Amino acid sequence: MMILLRATATLLMLLPLALAAAQSAAIPRPKITGISHASFLVADMEKARAFYQGFLGYEPTVSGSQVSRFKVNDRQSIEVVLAPGITAEADRANNVALQVEDAEAMRTYLKSKGVAVPAQATKDDNGNLGFVVKDPQGNVLMFVQHLPDGRNARDAGQHLSDRAVSRRIMHVGVIIARLDVAKSFYEDILGFGEFWRGTGGPVLSWVNVRLPDSDDYIEFMLYDKFPNIERMRSYQHICLEVADAAKTETILKARTLPEGSRPMTALRSGVNGKRQINTFDPDGTRTEVMEPNTFDGKPRPSSTAPVPVGEPRPPGR
């Protein structure tokens, strides 16, 4: 009788855990439908506007002293946030926003997977619903649901300048120290899928992972030694899709870079076989301009280079 009672007590103790596990497994992942925006810190708002509006040609949907947003298309934008007194050695990456069908359902789903989430999704100053989490590297991810009365819906078809160099953010680059840890978050939890990896040296440099319900993707920028600030701002970048990089280069050469910006790089074909150029805002943040296909129509194989294990982020970086 005593053994039976102990067995019954054990079963009663395990039952809530089993129920919780079953409920967690039953929560579906809401669709992640694209990159909504990339946000960067800037030291001088006027210089930043001279770059994103004057040089790249994007019209602002918000043009304030603290925040400016430049519309790429009806669902994507580039955001810059003034950080008064920011030092030359400070990181400029702010966040990457992913568009989801249901922000609150995504919050509940991530919580069920053990991800630290806020108590609820809230409306932002664009009138959209969302929340913020950090990936294992510490990169800030925002999940955003574009609401019918939000800015994206209200401004549909507006603020689309003929001067804009591109109508699509193809990908956003984020730094990653441990590829295995990143993949467990982005692939196992968020449903991203790896489709290409490349290298510029003896160890793996880049891994591209596509959003589960979109052709947009995130580029993992890998490293072994923690990057210096110039390389960091090149790693944490946006990539704009263009049909003809040579034509885009000609257009940009006729425009004036704002004071303090690094010169635009020459047109070249990358390791991935795609023609591209790189530009840099006055804070050093890179905007890559790239064609969607290889210049010769031949796909480039993924690299088999060994995966680096990155140093931890130093204090204060």
Query: Tokens standing for 59?
Result: 């019209």
From the number of C-beta atoms within 10 Å of its C-beta (0-12, 13-18, 19+), residue 301 rates as: exposed
Is the residue at 201 inside a domain? yes
Say if residues 30 and 106 touch (Cβ distance below 8 Å).
yes
Is the residue at 1 inside a domain? no
Say if residues 280 and 287 touch (Cβ distance below 8 Å).
yes
Amino acid identity for residue 297 in this structure: G
> Which H helix or E strand runs over 180?
helix 179-183
pLDDT value for 11: 43
Is the residue at 303 inside a domain? no
Amino acid identity for residue 215 in this structure: D
Query: Tokens standing for 255?
Result: 């425009």
Instruction: End-to-end CA distance of the chain: give it in Å, rounded.
Output: 63
Tokens 């549909």 belong to residue? 156
CATH value at residue 273? 3.10.180.10
Q: Following DSSP, what letter does each residue of 11-34 receive, concatenated?
A: HHHHHHHHHHHHHHHHPPPPPEEE
Express each pLDDT in 14-36 by its tens digit. 555 554 455 545 899 999 999 99
Q: How many domains does the chain have?
A: 1
From the number of C-beta atoms within 10 Å of its C-beta (0-12, 13-18, 19+), residue 222 rates as: buried
CA gap 84, 247 in Å, rounded: 37
Say if residues 61 and 151 touch (Cβ distance below 8 Å).
yes
pTM, to two decimals: 0.90
Residue closest to 211 by CA, chosen among 29, 77, 40? 29
Is the residue at 68 inside a domain? yes
pLDDT value for 36: 98
Amino acid identity for residue 167 in this structure: R
CA gap 14, 64 in Å, rounded: 55
Query: Tokens standing for 236?
Result: 């944490």
pLDDT value for 16: 54
Is the residue at 66 inside a domain? yes
Alpha helices in the chain (DSSP H): 2-26, 45-49, 103-112, 151-154, 179-183, 229-235, 245-253
Name the residue range of residue 122's domain: 32-290
3-state helix, strand, coil in the chain (%, to 5): 25, 30, 45
pLDDT value for 2: 45
Say if residues 173 and 99 touch (Cβ distance below 8 Å).
no
Is the residue at 265 inside a domain? yes
Is the residue at 10 inside a domain? no
Name the stretches of the chain with pLDDT < 70. Answer: 1-25, 316-317
CA gap 183, 194 in Å, rounded: 9
Is the residue at 309 inside a domain? no
